[in-house]
Amino acid sequence: MEIMLTTLGRLMTRCWDSAESSLRILVAQKHPSPPEELITALFAGEFRTKVAKASSNGEVERAFLADLQRAIPDLRLDIAQRASGLVARVNLHNRWHEGKVSAADLGVVVTRPIVDLAFGGNRVEFHRNHATGLLAQAKLGLRAKRAKGGRIWDRLTSQQERLYPKRRRYYSLLLYRLNGPKANELEAFRWQLCSEFALKKVKKWLLSDVFPGEISSPELLAKLFARTIGTDNPKVIETIIDPNASDVHSIDLQIFWPDDGGPPPCVELHHQQQETQEVQILH
């Protein structure tokens, strides 16, 4: 049975939400009419800062231990100590992007431990570096200069249209909306998941400025953290979403124990009771 790391997940979503708030201030004050690439780069820097602060002040470690304690109320002190030291960081893999392989210009990857209660709750198993990834095509929506308003969105390229059917299971649109006469009022990010929709639907959304299932960034990150969207296929992540040589920018949220620290792969919860029983039997 997997121990759900809900407290840790909520902390990461708060970091993301706070980074978006800081980004909106930056755009309003310093970066009018920013292109998509600049919005993404500025956001990644803000997200990196927020996560680094949460890590350095111990919030990441405390959130993880709180999740363990909730699932295992009688968690032994020695196990808690061995599981301490968890940290987080954000890497922006900033590479030239042309959409030749991915059909997108951004990948979001969450890499974190998976914790299981096994053998009837007598053992805790720690699985490190479990990655979940999602492709996103960032689109910038500007106010249309017509009486009815609405927004104008760039279309998918022919290459993206060709690749979309292969990628749609872990594909999304990231919607950037700018307002104001100087186009310096950035709205909160919105996401449209695409896994259940054919290409013609996506093309219609961009033409009509109507997206049927928009969700917020905290909602998306929570789903990605819980592994209910995207893909955890290592080959897809390593070759499509976040490869070493890539046509995709990637925001990689990494949650890990540094310097080979942290717990061993598995820890027995009740070995002390078993040893006491063995001693009683011997006597």
| Ranges of each domain in the chain | 6-282
In sequence order, what are the beta bridge partners of 214? 192
| C-alpha span between 163 and 235 (Å, rounded) | 17
Alpha-helix residue ranges (DSSP H) falling in the chain? 6-30, 36-56, 59-71, 77-82, 158-167, 199-208, 217-225, 234-236, 271-282
pTM of the entire predicted model: 0.88
Other CB atoms within 10 A of residue 64 CB = 26
Cβ-contact 127, 116 below 8 angstroms: yes
Task: Going residue by residue through the chain, which has 283 residues, state the pLDDT in tens, using 9 for 90 and above.
Answer: 999 999 999 999 999 999 999 999 999 999 999 999 899 999 999 999 999 999 999 999 999 999 999 999 988 898 899 999 999 999 876 544 445 567 788 899 999 999 998 887 788 999 999 999 999 999 999 887 765 668 999 999 998 999 999 999 999 999 999 999 999 999 999 999 999 999 999 999 999 999 999 999 999 999 999 999 999 999 999 888 887 655 557 899 999 999 888 999 988 887 544 443 333 333 3
Other CB atoms within 10 A of residue 148 CB = 5
Cβ-contact 41, 26 below 8 angstroms: no
**Two tokens, residue 170:** 């872990």
- CA-nearest of 52, 85, 80, 48 to 66 is 80
- CA-nearest of 110, 143, 135, 242 to 192 is 135
Kindly provide the residue ranges of all beta strands, DSSP E only, lying in the chain, ordered along the sequence.
87-93, 106-118, 123-143, 151-152, 171-179, 185-186, 190-193, 214-216, 249-256, 266-268
Q: How many residues does the chain have?
A: 283
Alpha-carbon Rg for the chain in angstroms: 22
| C-alpha span between 209 and 147 (Å, rounded) | 15
| C-alpha span between 86 and 60 (Å, rounded) | 6
- Tokens 């690439």, residue? 37
